[in-house]
Structure 1
């Protein structure tokens, strides 16, 4: 008898879970339905940097999860037959103006490299060497170069993973759904019972879990970035991504496309309107690195809603007292890095059951999911 699995949310976690549910052993005995209305999703608005190794976060569980996510990417991209327009290991440059800060950053990179083979090589670069690698820059600072760093286009990644899964066992329904107190999925056609439900709806997880008598520690945060058309250098497709000190992330793609951002706007919540003031701030950051830019170079903006917990750590796993329902949320701005690993773990749990121990990657779920009476 076929197992019926629902996924609520088609962002990085939901799309990766759908992909693995179509490729893991036993997937041929599963029918998967993914529900997503397409509004506000963080992943499709995101283009980001896969380079968690120099993070100063003290949460070691988060670091292990992010490191595992970075490690997973090359194999995932290869297996899903996705191209360099989706993901490419171009390397990452993190800049520091003060020499002692640069030395500390290099020492941290060398230390982290001992347990992170995916980092590749680590070297320090002068300002001139940084500019040689990213000739778009006019005002470069010295930095640390990590050859294993990568860039990823969130929308293209999700589209590619869902296309692979749809060819096998996935049906996509473009609608908003909710859960009943019994864990049924209420759709436009009525309530439906699934063998497993994966709630991967980001900041909307709180609303979805409420009928189960669960209060989720998760809040929305608005993020906005800009796309710019710039000079198309022959090497641009292989330019490193840049995390400049004091400025927004700087992500060159091929064919003269540059992404700058994204912002972290706590007061923006679920607002998906482009804020001209924020656009101006993002552009000013880009212009400080490339003074020749004008607003005519702006070709578009993207806005999405991230999910954060009060301690900025993600959570995922079976919902307490509702073991057939799995949830993931709170990935924040590291969603593109941590999401694939979370989606893979949830897919395995949905297929095979059991009580997996993911304490290496997260605090107990009870930290974030409380009975509503409390």
Structure 2
């Protein structure tokens, strides 16, 4: 048994601590629960197969992470008897141009050979999109991926914390002491710049509008990948979130901006043109990045380990990263080659 201190209780820190305690180690988490943490503000889309990113190391990570999710969630919910907000109702990627639709269908379908967990992949006409998601505009055709899912970050983090404490872990909601025993693991997200480790961590500000559709009938809907970097996810009965705006910043001010509210409200009205919409709230989160948008996972020195830079895929990758890091630090074989993510200056490949 070894002794570990985890600094940061977001999804990656909580997952790492949970998996380490399951390995039989002594683990303490320190979390100051900063406002604007990405875990609490993110919509939690698990749908990596539709991405057009060409970074193979990133793609290996997120597809293995998506494959890991169902079994992980089943185990966690059984251990805690609590909700994680995980649902798997598929995803729809929207298109206005039918030629682009066909190209996208072909591109996404090819990935199923190596990722059977994607399930069925099919093209949807404008009428079929409305069948899957009655609230949406009828102006878009789409590609449906059966395996698309989502998870609510705050609920998942709370479930991990509950399971961690139940297994004998110590969770302290404050800053860590200046010195800690054993190995220290930093999973501090957007606040990683405070430690000054390489690679440099920067962050982007993301804003999400939560709103309600005023309809008597409740319809359960897939995740929607709309035009551009926009997503629409169901957050409750006839409640949805639409995002996201990404802005580079050095600030940690989590106050919503009027400009982004107006932008997102306009998008909500565009995609739900026939519905009466009522605002619920705006949420702001800070997502951590490295220069090349590839997470860093590795030793800084013999007693210091860092996990950071997961960016917009933190909730997709977090549970699996925690599993793999716990195995690695326990001297066990990992499914992911962590040397791909232990770098100072990453490469674009």
Calculate the TM-score normalised by the size of structure 2: 0.91
Preserved CA contact (<8 Å) 1:86 1:153: yes
Structure 2 counterpart of 1:365: 343
Structure 1 counterpart of 2:147: 148
Structure 1 counterpart of 2:182: 195
1:36 is aligned, of 28, 31, 35, to: 31
Taking a change above 3 Å as real, the CA distance of residues 86 and 293 of structure 1, as seen in their structure-2 partners, is same
In structure 1, C-alpha distance between the alignment counterparts of 2:149 and 2:216, rounded to whole Å: 19
Q: Deviations over 1:226-271 (max 9, x none)?
A: 111224675633x101001146211013322211112211136422
Taking a change above 3 Å as real, the CA distance of residues 207 and 288 of structure 1, as seen in their structure-2 partners, is same
Taking a change above 3 Å as real, the CA distance of residues 96 and 307 of structure 1, as seen in their structure-2 partners, is same
2:223 is aligned, of 228, 241, 245, to: 241
Q: CA RMSD in A?
A: 2.2
TM alignment of 1:1-374, pairs within 5 A: 3-24=2-23, 27=24, 30-39=25-34, 40-81=36-77, 86-177=85-176, 187=177, 191-208=178-195, 210=196, 214-231=197-214, 236-237=219-220, 239-246=221-228, 248-267=230-249, 269-292=251-274, 297-319=278-300, 322-350=301-329, 352-353=330-331, 358-359=336-337, 362-367=340-345
Taking a change above 3 Å as real, the CA distance of residues 36 and 245 of structure 1, as seen in their structure-2 partners, is same
In structure 2, C-alpha distance between the alignment counterparts of 1:278 and 1:354, rounded to whole Å: 46
Preserved CA contact (<8 Å) 1:130 1:140: no
Cα offset, 1:162, TM superposition: 0.9
Count how many residue pairs are aligned between Structure 1 and Structure 2.
342
The alignment partner of 2:130 has SS state of helix
In structure 1, C-alpha distance between the alignment counterparts of 2:292 and 2:117, rounded to whole Å: 27
The alignment partner of 1:366 has SS state of coil
In structure 1, C-alpha distance between the alignment counterparts of 2:28 and 2:113, rounded to whole Å: 41
Unaligned runs of 5+ in 1: 178-186, 369-374
In structure 2, C-alpha distance between the alignment counterparts of 1:99 and 1:268, rounded to whole Å: 41
Q: Deviations over 1:278-299 (max 9, x none)?
A: 11111111110112556x7111
Unaligned runs of 5+ in 2: none
Cα offset, 1:346, TM superposition: 1.6
Structure 2 counterpart of 1:183: none
The alignment partner of 2:68 has SS state of helix
Taking a change above 3 Å as real, the CA distance of residues 69 and 233 of structure 1, as seen in their structure-2 partners, is farther
Cα offset, 1:84, TM superposition: 6.7
In structure 2, C-alpha distance between the alignment counterparts of 1:42 and 1:362, rounded to whole Å: 24
Range with bigger deviation, 107-116 or 77-86: 77-86
Preserved CA contact (<8 Å) 1:198 1:327: yes
Cα offset, 1:356, TM superposition: 6.7
In structure 2, C-alpha distance between the alignment counterparts of 1:69 and 1:342, rounded to whole Å: 8
